[in-house]
């Protein structure tokens, strides 16, 4: 998840995982969430939500170039593109696997901050990109 | 008046304490689940109540043939009750000639009522992380109470 979390290689960030934030199963794009790995149920991973159900996502190295995220699933990616075990590897993940949302960094003290929803422009789902282009044309 | 306040605080404390114990039991040890829908007939009928245990799901000791309760992969608010047919690495026949291999970390779920069940044949293998518990026995209706493990 570099550089949003663990920007230093040798210093680990501790985050506060908020379980209540996902009780309603409302997952938003750009949130950082923790989930049970679909490949290994004993492992927990932390990723950023890139697409929610119904979104058209341009994948990076998945077997399909463009995928529509199926019902009840989301598309998750690590920020460190290419060095991350994420949806580009195992495909869309079921929302039921999500355990919590990371809401703030609590340790080390020099990195105290809330984690804000953020999605790089290059990773915005295609269905939203085309809408914003239309918006610009109308403007 | 003082005595009344102390006794109120005391009973609230008891409620919280036993609430926590109950929560931990239902979350990590076992609970009761009411099933609805036809997908597991003739093993389980609609509105049967099952006793389930969470320990084998938490320690990932699910074996072939177990009846499990899992979160539905397409709708996280819904739970499904199915039989584990395939474990990672198993080859599953789908349709006439097609076959699929269950990927690592997943299971293949099917209802016993093959003709009327939405299961892995429609949504594919299910991640093991979605499994919540394993059904042990049926407790209601009483005259049909029986073990579901074999």
pLDDT digits (tens, 9 = 90+) for A48-71: 999 999 888 888 888 888 889 999
Calculate mean pLDDT across residues B120-129.
91
- CA-nearest residue to A43 within chain B is B129
pLDDT at site A132 = 58
pLDDT at site A11 = 80
- Which of A104, A99, A83, A96 lies closest to A34, judged by CA? A99
Q: Do residue B105 and residue A72 have CB atoms under 8 angstroms apart?
A: no
Encoded tokens for B116: 């009327």
Full 3-state SS string of B60-106? CCCCCCCEEEEEECCEEEEEEEEEEEECCCCEEEECCCEEEECCCCE
Q: What is the CATH number of the domain that holds A118?
A: 2.10.109.10
pLDDT digits (tens, 9 = 90+) for B66-101: 999 999 999 888 999 999 999 999 998 887 778 889
Q: State the average pLDDT for chain B.
A: 90
- CB < 8 Å from A in window 67-86 of B: 71-77
Contact B42, B58 (CB under 8 A): no
- CA-nearest residue to A44 within chain B is B129
Contacts of B60 in chain A (CB under 8 A): 41-42
The whole-angstrom separation of Cα B100 and Cα A6 is: 39
pLDDT at site B109 = 92
Question: To the nearest whole percent, how much of chain A has pLDDT over 90?
Answer: 32
Rg (chain B; Cα; Å): 19
For residue A3, being part of any structural domain is answered with no
Of the candidates B7, B17, B39, B133, the residue annotated as catalytic is: B39
Contact B136, B58 (CB under 8 A): no
Q: Do residue A73 and residue B73 have CB atoms under 8 angstroms apart?
A: yes
For residue A97, being part of any structural domain is answered with yes
Q: Containing domain of residue A52, as a range? A: 14-138
B23 φ, ψ to 5°?
Answer: -60, -45
B129–A contact, CB cutoff 8 A: yes
Contacts of B72 in chain A (CB under 8 A): 72, 96
- CA-nearest residue to A41 within chain B is B129
Pairing of strands A113-114, B30-34: unpaired
Of the candidates B7, B71, B82, B99, the residue annotated as catalytic is: B82
* Range scoring the smallest mean pLDDT among A91-100, A127-136, B47-56, B114-123: A127-136
Q: State the average pLDDT for chain A.
A: 85
- The CA distance from A77 to the nearest CA of chain B, in Å, is 18
Question: To the nearest whole percent, how much of chain B has pLDDT over 70?
Answer: 99
For residue A84, being part of any structural domain is answered with yes
Interface of A with B (CB under 8 A): 25, 35-42, 70-73, 93-98
ipTM above 0.85, yes or no: no
Assess whether B82 carries a catalytic annotation.
yes
The string of DSSP letters for chain A reads -TTTS--SSS---EEEEESGGGTT----TT-EEEEE-SS-TT-EEEEEEEE-TT-EEE-SSSSSSEEEPPTTEEEEE-SSTTSS-SHHHH--EEGGGEEEEEEEEEESGGG-EEPPP---GGGS-HHHHHHHHHHHHH-
For residue A73, being part of any structural domain is answered with yes
Mutation target vs B (from A22, A33, A41; most B CBs, 10 A cutoff): A41
Contact A75, A51 (CB under 8 A): yes
Per the DSSP assignment, residues forming a β-bridge with A93 are A74
Calculate mean pLDDT across residues B33-44.
87
Contact A91, A117 (CB under 8 A): no
Assess whether B39 carries a catalytic annotation.
yes
For residue A2, being part of any structural domain is answered with no
Encoded tokens for A74: 């989301």
* Range scoring the smallest mean pLDDT among A98-102, B36-40, B53-57: B36-40
Which domains are present in chain B? 31-142 (2.10.109.10)
Q: Do residue A38 and residue B106 have CB atoms under 8 angstroms apart?
A: yes
Cis amide linkage into residue A3, ω under 30° from 0: yes
Q: Domain count for chain A, please give it.
A: 1
């Amino acid at each position: 998840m570099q550089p949003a979390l663990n920007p230093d290689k040798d210093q680990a960030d501790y985050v506060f995982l908020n379980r209540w934030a996902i009780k309603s199963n409302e997952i938003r794009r750009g949130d950082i969430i923790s989930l049970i790995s679909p490949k290994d149920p004993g492992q927990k991973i932390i990723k950023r939500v890139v697409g929610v159900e119904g979104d058209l996502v341009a994948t990076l190295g998945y077997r399909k170039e463009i995928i529509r995220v199926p019902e009840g699933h989301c598309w998750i990616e690590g920020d460190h593109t290419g060095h991350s075990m994420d949806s580009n590897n195992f495909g869309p993940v079921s929302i039921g696997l999500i355990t919590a949302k990371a809401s703030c960094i609590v340790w080390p003290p020099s990195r105290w901050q809330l984690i804000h929803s953020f999605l790089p422009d290059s990773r915005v789902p295609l269905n939203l990109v085309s809408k914003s282009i239309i918006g610009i044309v109308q403007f | 008046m003082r005595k009344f306040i102390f006794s109120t605080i005391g009973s609230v404390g008891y409620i919280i304490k036993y609430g926590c114990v109950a929560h931990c039991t239902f979350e990590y040890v076992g609970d009761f689940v009411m099933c609805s829908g036809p997908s597991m007939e003739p093993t389980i009928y609609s509105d049967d109540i099952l006793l389930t245990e969470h320990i084998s799901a938490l320690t990932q000791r699910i074996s072939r043939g177990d009846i499990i309760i899992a979160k539905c992969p397409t709708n996280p608010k819904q739970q499904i009750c199915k039989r584990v047919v395939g474990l990672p690495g198993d080859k599953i026949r789908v349709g006439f000639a097609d076959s699929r291999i269950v990927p690592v970390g997943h299971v293949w779920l099917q209802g016993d009522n093959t003709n009327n069940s939405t299961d892995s044949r429609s949504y594919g293998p299910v991640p093991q992380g979605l499994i919540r518990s394993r059904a042990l026995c049926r407790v209601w209706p009483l005259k049909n109470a029986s073990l579901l493990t074999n």
